[in-house]
């Protein structure tokens, strides 16, 4: 128990402490606005697959194919996760066309239960395109 508690878990604790200490150092050195930019800058441009972002329509199209059972590779790779999360809520499964329109235009209209199901589900995730060969 001591090896487990201070081994792997101890390394996680040390990693988190280093990160927090680093952030606290820069928070003390920078103005409030500069600190926020410092913290956010590494994430800028890396998440383009959320509502309102350029890849969102691709994610929605992929989810609709998967809900229709048309993406066998996804089901083979992620079917176990999908089973643990559970079936799509009735509001999603009963009318995929309405679900697709809502996801593309106003996801919040789907309600908390549906959004919670999508949030924990890999169904909206699509692989990143491979960079062009040099």
pLDDT band at 2 (very low <50, low <70, confident <90, very high): low
The radius of gyration computed from the CA coordinates of the chain, to the nearest angstrom, equals: 20
Average pLDDT, integer, range 35-59? 76
pLDDT of residue 99: 93
Q: State the pLDDT at residue 7.
A: 57
DSSP the chain: -HHHHHTHHHHHHHHHHHHHHHHHHHHHHS-HHHHHHHHHGGGTTT---STTSTTHHHHHHHHHHHHTT--HHHHHHHHHHHHHH-SPPHHHHT-HHHHHHHHHH-GGGG-HHHHHHHHT-GGG--PPPPPPP-
Asked whether the predicted pLDDT for residue 42 surpasses 50, the reply is: yes
Q: For position 9, what pLDDT does the model report?
A: 64
Using an 8 Å Cβ cutoff, are 111 and 102 in contact? no
Portion of the chain with pLDDT greater than 90, in percent: 16
> What pLDDT score was predicted for residue 43?
62
Q: What CA–CA distance (Å, rounded) separates 120 from 122?
A: 7
The pTM of the full predicted model, rounded to 2 decimals, is: 0.61
Mean confidence (pLDDT) of the chain: 82
pLDDT for the residue numbered 133: 67
Task: Compute the distance between CA of residue 20 and CA of residue 15 in angstroms, rounded to an integer.
Answer: 9
User: Is the pLDDT confidence value at 1 over 50?
Assistant: no
pLDDT level of residue 82 (50, 70, 90 thresholds):
confident
Average pLDDT over residues 38-46: 67
């Amino acid at each position: 128990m001591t090896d487990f508690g201070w081994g792997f878990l101890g390394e996680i604790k040390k990693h988190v402490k280093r990160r927090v200490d680093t952030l606290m150092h820069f928070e003390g050195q920078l103005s409030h606005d500069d600190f926020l930019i410092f913290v956010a800058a590494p994430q800028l441009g890396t998440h383009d697959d959320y509502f309102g972002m350029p890849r969102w329509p691709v994610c929605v199209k992929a989810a609709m194919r998967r809900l229709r059972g048309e993406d066998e590779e996804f089901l083979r790779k992620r079917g176990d996760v999908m089973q643990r999360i559970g079936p799509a809520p009735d509001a999603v499964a009963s009318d995929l066309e309405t679900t697709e329109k809502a996801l593309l235009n106003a996801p919040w209209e789907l309600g908390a239960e549906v959004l919670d199901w999508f949030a924990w589900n890999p169904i909206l995730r699509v692989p990143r395109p491979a960079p062009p060969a040099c």
